[in-house]
Amino acid sequence: MTGLGAVFRPQLAPERLRAVARTADEAGLEELWLWEDCFREGGISTAAAALAWTERVRVGVGLLPVPLRNVAITAMEAATLHRMFPGRAILGVGHGVQDWMGQVGARVESPVTLLREHLLALRALLGGERVTTEGRYVRLDGVALDWPPGQGVEVLAGATGPRSLRLAGEAADGTVLTASTPPDGVRRARRLIDEGRAAVGRTDAHKVVVYLLAATGAGAHERLRAELVAEGDEKVPDLGVAGDAVAVAGAVRRLAEAGADSVILQPTGDEPDPEGFVRFAAEEVRPLVG
């Protein structure tokens, strides 16, 4: 079955999260995703709050930018969430937006190298290993978590380019694709991910999560069009969806058929009713998605 979720976008003030998270939980939404966008809201702090305010919804963070974070801190925070809320936290890491990384003095010469080193160390730490490594960017000397997660933890990677997608296949447990990814882009990403997996002999499951820009209700088509134009994606075919639950479910199914395991509905930045959006996803779209 295709997983379905929605995004709480950081264009909303942090104090709005509680109501949206509780609505998602009560409506039966499977996943609520949060973003650590500079310079808006922290991913771990918002995830911890959302998990504490709810009982069952899974909470994803897509993505934590690795240039901002020492891998030991990422591992400590991830392990803490997984121990406090078993099976409900989903964490993804990525390069970060390079302009933002430059603003804070964290931009690196080789983002792919950093992401590789971070993924390998993070997965080892969360697996309970004691890690010593002397990489180009990641350096650890006999580091182990006192409180590793009590069960296997998936680490997802955000990726867009070919090198990053192959790396995700090699070194991550899943991949997060942006809302700029149409169905053909999902197929291409799956091929590149599988190339990376084959290169290192991986045969375990690899989850692909895709954001889908979606708008419903009054002015849906205009809001969708405006956001696509703002992102420079207005000429990309079959990208985003506006309309009722039938239209949105159809777009979800097309992404699933292309290789997505989970589709996360991403409202426009000016969505007028965030609580209504998550109810729409859970109560109207979910029953129409296989």
What's the CATH number where 106 sits? Answer: 3.20.20.30
Find the domain containing 284 and state its range: 3-288
What pLDDT does 290 receive? 79
What pLDDT does 151 receive? 80
SS (H, E, C) the chain: CCEEEEEECCCCCHHHHHHHHHHHHHHCCCEEEECCCCCCCCHHHHHHHHHHHCCCCEEEEEEEEHHHCCHHHHHHHHHHHHHHCCCCEEEEEECCCHHHHHHCCCCCCCHHHHHHHHHHHHHHHHCCCCEEEECCCCEEEEECCCCCCCCCCCEEEECCCHHHHHHHHHHCCEEEECCCCCHHHHHHHHHHHHHHHHHHCCCCCCEEEEEEEEECCCCHHHHHHHHHHHCCCCCCCCCCEECCHHHHHHHHHHHHHHCCCEEEEEECCCCCCHHHHHHHHHHHHHHHCC
Pairwise CA distance, residues 121 & 68, whole Å? 16
**Counting Cβ atoms within 10 Å, is residue 13 exposed (0-12), middle (13-18) or buried (19+)?**
exposed
pLDDT per residue of the chain (290 residues) written in tens, 0 to 9 = 999 999 999 999 999 999 999 999 999 999 999 999 999 999 999 999 999 999 999 999 999 999 999 999 999 999 999 999 999 999 999 999 999 999 999 999 999 999 999 999 999 999 999 999 999 999 999 999 999 998 879 999 999 999 999 999 999 999 999 999 999 999 999 999 999 999 999 999 999 999 999 999 999 999 999 999 999 999 999 999 999 999 999 999 999 999 999 999 999 999 999 999 999 999 999 999 97
What pLDDT does 219 receive? 96
Pairwise CA distance, residues 12 & 237, whole Å? 29
What pLDDT does 150 receive? 81
The model carries a pTM of 0.97
Whether the CB-CB separation of 178 and 233 falls below 8 Å is answered with: no
Provide the number of structural domains found in the chain.
1
